[in-house]
Protein backbone atom coordinates (compact mmCIF):
# COMPACT_ATOMS: atom_id res chain seq x y z
CA UNK A 1 0.00 0.00 0.00
CA UNK A 2 1.63 3.28 -1.10
CA UNK A 3 0.86 6.93 -1.61
CA UNK A 4 -2.22 8.43 0.02
CA UNK A 5 -4.40 5.34 -0.18
CA UNK A 6 -7.48 5.17 2.02
CA UNK A 7 -8.97 1.97 3.42
CA UNK A 8 -11.91 1.30 5.68
CA UNK A 9 -12.66 -1.52 8.09
CA UNK A 10 -14.62 -2.15 11.27
CA UNK A 11 -11.68 -2.48 13.67
CA UNK A 12 -8.05 -1.46 13.27
CA UNK A 13 -5.62 -2.92 15.81
CA UNK A 14 -2.37 -1.06 16.34
CA UNK A 15 0.33 -3.43 17.60
CA UNK A 16 0.38 -7.18 17.05
CA UNK A 17 2.06 -8.46 20.18
CA UNK A 18 0.13 -10.75 22.55
CA UNK A 19 -2.52 -8.10 23.27
CA UNK A 20 -3.01 -6.95 19.69
CA UNK A 21 -2.99 -10.40 18.10
CA UNK A 22 -5.49 -11.62 20.72
CA UNK A 23 -7.71 -8.60 20.04
CA UNK A 24 -7.53 -9.09 16.28
CA UNK A 25 -8.45 -12.74 16.60
CA UNK A 26 -11.37 -12.13 18.96
CA UNK A 27 -12.84 -9.32 16.87
CA UNK A 28 -12.49 -11.27 13.62
CA UNK A 29 -14.03 -14.40 15.15
CA UNK A 30 -17.02 -12.30 16.15
CA UNK A 31 -17.51 -11.19 12.54
CA UNK A 32 -15.76 -7.81 12.41
CA UNK A 33 -13.57 -6.75 9.48
CA UNK A 34 -10.16 -6.35 11.13
CA UNK A 35 -6.84 -4.89 10.02
CA UNK A 36 -3.88 -5.30 12.37
CA UNK A 37 -0.72 -3.17 12.07
CA UNK A 38 2.76 -3.58 13.51
CA UNK A 39 5.96 -1.63 12.87
CA UNK A 40 8.13 -4.72 13.35
CA UNK A 41 9.28 -6.87 10.47
CA UNK A 42 8.32 -10.16 12.16
CA UNK A 43 6.09 -11.08 15.12
CA UNK A 44 7.80 -11.10 18.51
CA UNK A 45 11.19 -9.88 17.31
CA UNK A 46 13.23 -8.54 18.90
CA UNK A 47 12.32 -10.43 22.08
CA UNK A 48 12.06 -8.00 25.00
CA UNK A 49 10.95 -10.11 27.94
CA UNK A 50 12.19 -12.85 30.26
CA UNK A 51 9.77 -15.34 28.60
CA UNK A 52 8.04 -16.89 31.63
CA UNK A 53 4.31 -17.62 31.50
CA UNK A 54 2.13 -19.29 34.17
CA UNK A 55 0.39 -22.58 33.44
CA UNK A 56 -2.94 -20.80 33.87
CA UNK A 57 -2.37 -19.01 30.55
CA UNK A 58 -3.27 -22.33 28.92
CA UNK A 59 -6.91 -21.42 29.45
CA UNK A 60 -6.45 -18.52 26.97
CA UNK A 61 -3.85 -19.92 24.55
CA UNK A 62 -4.57 -23.27 22.96
CA UNK A 63 -1.78 -25.86 23.24
CA UNK A 64 0.42 -23.42 25.17
CA UNK A 65 3.06 -26.09 25.64
CA UNK A 66 3.96 -26.06 21.94
CA UNK A 67 5.79 -22.78 22.54
CA UNK A 68 7.63 -24.06 25.63
CA UNK A 69 11.39 -24.42 25.89
CA UNK A 70 11.36 -25.85 29.41
CA UNK A 71 9.01 -26.29 32.36
CA UNK A 72 9.37 -24.24 35.53
CA UNK A 73 8.48 -25.68 38.93
CA UNK A 74 9.19 -22.84 41.35
CA UNK A 75 10.37 -19.31 42.05
CA UNK A 76 13.51 -18.86 44.16
CA UNK A 77 13.93 -15.47 45.81
CA UNK A 78 17.31 -14.19 47.01
CA UNK A 79 17.21 -11.15 49.27
CA UNK A 80 20.30 -9.06 49.91
CA UNK A 81 21.20 -9.59 53.55
CA UNK A 82 18.97 -12.65 54.01
CA UNK A 83 18.74 -16.27 52.84
CA UNK A 84 16.85 -17.54 49.80
CA UNK A 85 13.40 -19.10 49.75
CA UNK A 86 11.65 -21.37 47.26
CA UNK A 87 7.95 -21.23 46.37
CA UNK A 88 5.99 -23.41 43.99
CA UNK A 89 5.18 -21.48 40.80
CA UNK A 90 4.55 -23.83 37.88
CA UNK A 91 4.84 -22.46 34.38
CA UNK A 92 6.83 -22.46 31.19
CA UNK A 93 9.75 -20.61 29.74
CA UNK A 94 8.54 -20.02 26.21
CA UNK A 95 10.11 -19.04 22.93
CA UNK A 96 8.53 -15.59 22.81
CA UNK A 97 9.08 -15.10 19.08
CA UNK A 98 7.29 -18.37 18.27
CA UNK A 99 4.59 -17.54 20.81
CA UNK A 100 3.84 -14.17 19.22
CA UNK A 101 3.95 -15.68 15.73
CA UNK A 102 1.47 -18.34 16.82
CA UNK A 103 -0.96 -15.73 18.13
CA UNK A 104 -0.70 -13.77 14.87
CA UNK A 105 -1.34 -16.92 12.84
CA UNK A 106 -4.42 -17.62 14.96
CA UNK A 107 -5.66 -14.09 14.24
CA UNK A 108 -5.15 -14.60 10.52
CA UNK A 109 -6.96 -17.91 10.62
CA UNK A 110 -9.89 -16.13 12.28
CA UNK A 111 -10.04 -13.71 9.35
CA UNK A 112 -7.97 -10.73 10.52
CA UNK A 113 -5.58 -9.10 8.06
CA UNK A 114 -2.25 -8.71 9.88
CA UNK A 115 0.39 -6.42 8.39
CA UNK A 116 4.00 -6.04 9.49
CA UNK A 117 6.54 -3.38 8.50
CA UNK A 118 3.59 -1.01 8.86
CA UNK A 119 4.61 1.79 11.26
CA UNK A 120 1.92 4.18 12.41
CA UNK A 121 2.70 7.88 12.12
CA UNK A 122 -0.44 9.37 13.63
CA UNK A 123 -3.68 8.45 15.37
CA UNK A 124 -6.41 11.09 15.40
CA UNK A 125 -10.04 11.73 14.62
CA UNK A 126 -9.41 10.96 10.93
CA UNK A 127 -8.25 7.42 11.76
CA UNK A 128 -4.83 5.76 11.70
CA UNK A 129 -2.23 7.26 9.37
CA UNK A 130 0.78 5.14 8.42
CA UNK A 131 4.28 6.43 7.79
CA UNK A 132 3.77 6.14 4.01
CA UNK A 133 0.86 8.57 4.20
CA UNK A 134 -1.88 5.99 3.71
CA UNK A 135 -4.81 6.01 6.12
CA UNK A 136 -7.15 3.46 7.63
CA UNK A 137 -10.58 4.53 8.82
CA UNK A 138 -12.27 2.28 11.35
CA UNK A 139 -15.21 2.68 13.69
CA UNK A 140 -13.14 1.22 16.55
CA UNK A 141 -9.39 1.59 17.11
CA UNK A 142 -7.69 -0.89 19.45
CA UNK A 143 -4.41 0.34 20.94
CA UNK A 144 -2.09 -2.54 21.76
CA UNK A 145 1.10 -0.73 20.86
CA UNK A 146 3.04 -1.00 24.10
CA UNK A 147 4.07 1.33 26.92
CA UNK A 148 4.63 4.28 24.54
CA UNK A 149 1.26 3.78 22.85
CA UNK A 150 0.43 6.28 20.11
CA UNK A 151 -3.21 5.26 20.43
CA UNK A 152 -3.22 5.86 24.18
CA UNK A 153 -1.51 9.22 23.74
CA UNK A 154 -4.24 10.27 21.31
CA UNK A 155 -6.91 9.88 24.03
CA UNK A 156 -4.74 11.11 26.91
CA UNK A 157 -3.99 7.71 28.47
CA UNK A 158 -0.21 7.83 28.87
CA UNK A 159 2.19 5.66 30.89
CA UNK A 160 4.04 8.39 32.77
CA UNK A 161 5.83 6.11 35.23
CA UNK A 162 8.05 3.34 33.87
CA UNK A 163 10.82 0.97 34.85
CA UNK A 164 13.82 0.45 32.58
CA UNK A 165 15.23 -3.02 31.93
CA UNK A 166 18.34 -4.60 30.47
CA UNK A 167 18.66 -8.33 29.71
CA UNK A 168 21.36 -10.60 28.35
CA UNK A 169 21.27 -14.25 27.33
CA UNK A 170 24.10 -16.30 28.82
CA UNK A 171 25.18 -19.96 28.94
CA UNK A 172 23.55 -21.93 31.76
CA UNK A 173 26.11 -24.30 33.22
CA UNK A 174 23.78 -26.50 35.26
CA UNK A 175 20.12 -27.46 34.81
CA UNK A 176 17.67 -25.37 36.82
CA UNK A 177 13.89 -25.62 37.29
CA UNK A 178 13.13 -22.26 38.92
CA UNK A 179 12.91 -18.59 38.06
CA UNK A 180 15.42 -16.80 40.31
CA UNK A 181 14.68 -13.35 41.72
CA UNK A 182 17.35 -11.10 43.26
CA UNK A 183 16.22 -8.29 45.58
CA UNK A 184 18.65 -5.52 46.47
CA UNK A 185 18.57 -1.93 47.66
CA UNK A 186 20.81 -1.14 44.66
CA UNK A 187 17.87 -1.89 42.35
CA UNK A 188 15.20 0.68 43.34
CA UNK A 189 11.75 -0.17 42.05
CA UNK A 190 12.95 -3.38 40.44
CA UNK A 191 14.93 -6.59 40.84
CA UNK A 192 17.34 -8.91 39.08
CA UNK A 193 16.37 -12.21 37.48
CA UNK A 194 17.78 -15.43 36.10
CA UNK A 195 15.27 -17.40 34.04
CA UNK A 196 16.58 -20.73 32.72
CA UNK A 197 15.89 -21.57 29.09
CA UNK A 198 17.34 -25.00 28.41
CA UNK A 199 21.10 -24.65 27.89
CA UNK A 200 20.96 -20.84 28.25
CA UNK A 201 19.35 -18.35 30.61
CA UNK A 202 17.85 -14.87 30.45
CA UNK A 203 19.72 -12.73 32.97
CA UNK A 204 18.27 -9.30 33.50
CA UNK A 205 17.60 -6.39 35.76
CA UNK A 206 15.00 -3.64 36.06
CA UNK A 207 15.10 -0.34 37.96
CA UNK A 208 13.14 2.84 38.47
CA UNK A 209 13.72 5.40 35.71
CA UNK A 210 16.15 7.70 37.62
CA UNK A 211 18.49 4.72 38.21
CA UNK A 212 18.56 3.61 34.55
CA UNK A 213 22.12 4.90 34.13
CA UNK A 214 23.32 2.16 36.48
CA UNK A 215 21.66 -0.74 34.65
CA UNK A 216 24.74 -1.93 32.82
CA UNK A 217 27.09 -1.95 35.81
CA UNK A 218 24.46 -3.56 38.04
CA UNK A 219 23.84 -6.33 35.52
CA UNK A 220 27.56 -6.90 35.06
CA UNK A 221 27.87 -7.25 38.83
CA UNK A 222 25.04 -9.77 39.00
CA UNK A 223 26.57 -11.74 36.15
CA UNK A 224 29.97 -11.77 37.87
CA UNK A 225 28.42 -13.11 41.08
CA UNK A 226 26.66 -15.96 39.29
CA UNK A 227 29.79 -16.77 37.26
CA UNK A 228 31.78 -17.08 40.50
CA UNK A 229 29.12 -19.46 41.79
CA UNK A 230 29.58 -21.63 38.71
CA UNK A 231 25.99 -21.20 37.53
CA UNK A 232 26.46 -19.29 34.27
CA UNK A 233 29.18 -18.37 31.80
CA UNK A 234 30.65 -15.04 30.77
CA UNK A 235 29.59 -15.18 27.14
CA UNK A 236 26.82 -12.75 26.18
CA UNK A 237 24.76 -14.45 23.47
CA UNK A 238 22.14 -11.72 23.07
CA UNK A 239 21.20 -8.40 24.62
CA UNK A 240 17.93 -6.54 24.84
CA UNK A 241 16.04 -4.08 27.00
CA UNK A 242 12.86 -2.10 27.22
CA UNK A 243 10.31 -0.26 29.30
CA UNK A 244 7.76 -1.61 31.77
CA UNK A 245 4.68 0.45 32.68
CA UNK A 246 4.81 1.02 36.44
CA UNK A 247 2.09 3.52 37.19
CA UNK A 248 -0.89 1.20 37.18
CA UNK A 249 -4.14 1.07 35.25
CA UNK A 250 -4.89 3.75 32.66
CA UNK A 251 -8.30 4.73 31.30
CA UNK A 252 -9.01 1.77 28.99
CA UNK A 253 -11.30 3.49 26.50
CA UNK A 254 -12.08 6.85 24.95
CA UNK A 255 -13.18 8.65 21.81
CA UNK A 256 -11.52 10.39 18.90
CA UNK A 257 -14.21 12.40 17.17
CA UNK A 258 -16.71 9.83 15.96
CA UNK A 259 -14.35 6.89 16.52
CA UNK A 260 -14.14 4.80 19.64
CA UNK A 261 -10.86 3.65 21.15
CA UNK A 262 -9.97 0.69 23.35
CA UNK A 263 -6.59 0.03 25.00
CA UNK A 264 -5.15 -3.35 26.01
CA UNK A 265 -1.95 -4.75 27.49
CA UNK A 266 0.96 -2.37 28.17
CA UNK A 267 -0.90 0.44 26.40
CA UNK A 268 -3.45 0.23 29.21
CA UNK A 269 -0.83 -0.04 31.98
CA UNK A 270 -1.67 -3.66 32.79
CA UNK A 271 1.86 -4.98 33.37
CA UNK A 272 2.42 -5.59 37.08
CA UNK A 273 4.67 -2.75 38.39
CA UNK A 274 6.36 -5.07 40.90
CA UNK A 275 6.94 -8.28 38.97
CA UNK A 276 6.97 -6.93 35.43
CA UNK A 277 4.66 -9.78 34.41
CA UNK A 278 2.54 -8.73 31.46
CA UNK A 279 2.09 -11.54 28.94
CA UNK A 280 -0.98 -13.09 30.58
CA UNK A 281 -2.69 -9.74 31.17
CA UNK A 282 -1.94 -8.76 27.57
CA UNK A 283 -3.54 -11.89 26.14
CA UNK A 284 -6.58 -11.66 28.41
CA UNK A 285 -7.17 -7.94 27.94
CA UNK A 286 -6.55 -8.25 24.21
CA UNK A 287 -9.20 -10.93 23.87
CA UNK A 288 -11.61 -8.81 25.93
CA UNK A 289 -10.85 -5.72 23.83
CA UNK A 290 -11.47 -7.59 20.59
CA UNK A 291 -14.78 -8.91 21.87
CA UNK A 292 -15.80 -5.43 23.02
CA UNK A 293 -14.85 -3.89 19.66
CA UNK A 294 -16.89 -6.47 17.75
CA UNK A 295 -19.83 -6.01 20.12
CA UNK A 296 -19.76 -2.26 19.54
CA UNK A 297 -19.71 -2.81 15.77
CA UNK A 298 -22.72 -5.09 16.21
CA UNK A 299 -24.64 -2.29 17.89
CA UNK A 300 -24.06 -2.79 21.63
CA UNK A 301 -23.86 0.79 22.85
CA UNK A 302 -22.47 -0.10 26.27
CA UNK A 303 -19.75 -2.43 24.97
CA UNK A 304 -16.84 -0.09 25.74
CA UNK A 305 -18.19 0.90 29.15
CA UNK A 306 -18.64 -2.77 29.99
CA UNK A 307 -15.05 -3.44 28.88
CA UNK A 308 -13.74 -0.67 31.13
CA UNK A 309 -15.67 -2.05 34.10
CA UNK A 310 -14.44 -5.59 33.48
CA UNK A 311 -10.82 -4.41 33.19
CA UNK A 312 -11.19 -2.49 36.44
CA UNK A 313 -12.69 -5.46 38.27
CA UNK A 314 -10.13 -7.94 36.96
CA UNK A 315 -6.89 -5.99 37.19
CA UNK A 316 -7.24 -2.91 39.42
CA UNK A 317 -6.93 -4.59 42.86
CA UNK A 318 -3.59 -6.26 42.07
CA UNK A 319 -2.25 -3.21 40.24
CA UNK A 320 -3.21 -0.85 43.08
CA UNK A 321 -1.31 -2.97 45.58
CA UNK A 322 1.70 -3.30 43.30
CA UNK A 323 1.90 0.44 42.66
CA UNK A 324 1.79 1.18 46.39
CA UNK A 325 4.46 -1.41 47.19
CA UNK A 326 6.69 -0.11 44.42
CA UNK A 327 6.34 3.49 45.54
CA UNK A 328 7.23 2.50 49.10
CA UNK A 329 10.39 0.60 48.16
CA UNK A 330 11.53 3.36 45.77
CA UNK A 331 11.16 5.85 48.61
CA UNK A 332 13.01 3.55 51.05
CA UNK A 333 15.89 3.11 48.58
CA UNK A 334 16.06 6.87 48.02
CA UNK A 335 16.49 7.37 51.77
CA UNK A 336 19.30 4.75 51.72
CA UNK A 337 17.44 2.83 54.41
CA UNK A 338 15.99 -0.11 52.49
CA UNK A 339 16.32 -3.17 54.71
CA UNK A 340 15.73 -6.84 53.86
CA UNK A 341 12.30 -6.44 55.45
CA UNK A 342 11.55 -3.47 53.15
CA UNK A 343 12.65 -5.47 50.11
CA UNK A 344 10.56 -8.47 51.08
CA UNK A 345 7.49 -6.35 51.76
CA UNK A 346 7.75 -5.29 48.11
CA UNK A 347 7.90 -8.81 46.68
CA UNK A 348 5.01 -11.21 46.04
CA UNK A 349 6.63 -14.27 47.66
CA UNK A 350 6.43 -12.78 51.16
CA UNK A 351 3.39 -12.55 53.40
CA UNK A 352 3.97 -8.86 54.14
CA UNK A 353 3.40 -8.01 50.50
CA UNK A 354 -0.19 -9.18 50.91
CA UNK A 355 -0.91 -8.37 54.56
CA UNK A 356 1.02 -5.25 55.57
CA UNK A 357 -0.94 -1.96 55.35
CA UNK A 358 -0.50 -0.10 52.09
CA UNK A 359 1.39 3.15 52.56
CA UNK A 360 1.26 6.00 50.11
CA UNK A 361 4.67 7.38 49.23
CA UNK A 362 5.81 10.13 46.84
CA UNK A 363 6.95 8.52 43.61
CA UNK A 364 10.39 9.42 42.29
CA UNK A 365 10.10 7.69 38.91
CA UNK A 366 9.65 9.50 35.63
CA UNK A 367 8.90 8.32 32.15
CA UNK A 368 11.93 8.72 29.96
pLDDT single digits (tens) 228-255: 999 999 999 999 999 999 999 999 999 9
Strands 6-14 and 34-37: parallel
Give yes or no for residue 270 having a pLDDT over 90.
yes
In the predicted model, is pLDDT for residue 363 greater than 70?
no
pLDDT over threshold 50, residue 1: no
Per-residue confidence (pLDDT) for residue 206, from 0 to 100: 97
Query: How many whole angstroms separate alpha carbon 355 and alpha carbon 267?
Result: 30
What pLDDT sits at residue 248? Answer: 96
With residues binned 3-state (H G I as helix, E B as strand, rest as coil), the percentages for the chain, rounded to 5, are 35, 30, 35
Q: Rounded to whole angstroms, how far apart are CA atoms 53 and 278? A: 9
According to DSSP, the residues that pair with 124 across neighbouring strands are 127
Q: What is the pLDDT of residues 48-89, one digit of tens each?
A: 889 999 999 999 999 999 999 999 999 999 998 787 899 999
For residue 360, the model assigns a pLDDT of 54
> Is residue 40 scored above 60 in pLDDT?
yes
The CATH H-level superfamily of 6-47+96-159+248-319 is FAD/NAD(P)-binding domain (3.50.50.60)
Give residue 364's pLDDT. Answer: 40
Q: Among residues of the chain, what percentage have pLDDT more than 90?
A: 91
- Residue pLDDT, tens place only, 115-161: 999 999 999 999 999 999 999 999 999 999 999 999 999 999 999 99
Q: Are 276 and 244 in contact (CB under 8 A)?
A: yes
Judging by beta carbons within 10 Å of its beta carbon (0-12, 13-18, 19+), is residue 199 exposed, middle or buried? exposed
Count of helices and strands (H, E) across the chain: 8, 16
For the chain, the structural domain boundaries read: 6-47+96-159+248-319
Is residue 65 exposed (0-12), middle (13-18) or buried (19+ Cβ within 10 Å)? exposed
| pLDDT for res 200 | 98
Average pLDDT, the chain: 94
Amino acid sequence: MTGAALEACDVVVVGLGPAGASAARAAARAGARVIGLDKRVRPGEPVQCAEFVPLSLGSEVEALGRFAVQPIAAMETYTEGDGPRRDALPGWIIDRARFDAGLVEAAREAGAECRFSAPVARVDASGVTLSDGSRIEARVIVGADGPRSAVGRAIGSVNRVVSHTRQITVPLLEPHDATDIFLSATMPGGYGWLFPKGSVANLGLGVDAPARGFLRVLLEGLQATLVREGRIGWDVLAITGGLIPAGGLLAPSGRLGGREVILAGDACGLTNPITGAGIASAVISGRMAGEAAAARIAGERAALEDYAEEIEDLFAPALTRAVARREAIVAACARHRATPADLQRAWIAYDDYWTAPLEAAPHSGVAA
